[in-house]
Amino acid sequence: MSLPNFPVEGGCQCGAVRYRLTHNPLSVYNCHCKDCQRFSGAAWSMSMLVRDEDFAVLQGRTEQYAKRADSGRVVEMHFCAHCHGWLFNRPPFPGIVVVRAGTLDDLDWAAPVGNIWTGSKAAWVEIDPELVNFSGQANDRQPLYDAWTHSTRKDN
Ligand SMILES: [Zn+2]
Ligand SMILES: [Zn+2]
């Protein structure tokens, strides 16, 4: 997968909220957890991990929802205040924003390199065994970072 020329942009469905990504993300992968299924209305959601300093909301206002995970950790979820599209999360660890990759204007370059929470995936979803897969939370995200670095280096 070849990388685009950064910065790239994305936004919500109504166009009120726009964001910019100034550098290559750390990784892109699919999450099959039940929360992502409920929030996205789909079988999984695409997570794009970016460094805080590489991410900026350019315009629009987001509404926040504090989601408490089973672990007790609170994830700050951001939705467009107007159309309520799900845009990004701020996880309980600093320095990282988890952007919903489907909100990128162009996501041709953002092919997921792995899957997390495959233990709760829909039975009919097939997981590519060549990818970096976790049955639950990826407590060590380094393999997902490494796979992204590797996949984006190939064509460059
Ligand atoms: Zn909107
Ligand atoms: Zn999830």
Query: Model confidence over 78-89: pLDDT tens digits?
Result: 999 999 999 999
**Going by CATH, does the domain composed of 8-123 fall within 1.10.3720.10?**
no
Cβ contacts of residue 147 below 8 Å, gap of 6+?
A: 27, 113, 114, 131, 132
Among all ligands shown, which has an atom nearest to the Cα of 47?
Answer: 2
pLDDT at 128 over 50: yes
Pick from 90, 148, 138: nearest CA to 117? 138
The least confident of 51-65, 66-80, 111-125 is 66-80
User: What pLDDT, in 10s, does the model give residues 13-33?
Assistant: 999 999 999 999 999 999 999
Average pLDDT over residues 33-49: 95
Pick from 107, 108, 100, 121: nearest CA to 43? 121
Tell me the CA–centroid distance for residue 21 and ligand 2, in Å.
21
Residue % of the chain over a pLDDT of 90: 87
The model's confidence at residue 2, banded by pLDDT at 50, 70 and 90, is confident
Per-chain mean pLDDT for the chain: 94
- Provide the pLDDT for residue 91: 87
Pick from 52, 21, 49, 20: nearest CA to 146? 49
Task: Identify the residue with better confidence: 31 or 73.
Answer: 31
Tell me the CA–centroid distance for residue 62 and ligand 1, in Å.
9
- Provide the pLDDT for residue 29: 98
pLDDT at 156 over 50: no
pLDDT at 70 over 80: no
- Provide the pLDDT for residue 154: 53
Residue 63 and residue 83 in contact, taking contact as beta carbons nearer than 8 Å: no
Among all ligands shown, which has an atom nearest to the Cα of 18?
Answer: 1
Domains of the chain: which residue ranges? 8-123
Among all ligands shown, which has an atom nearest to the Cα of 86?
Answer: 1
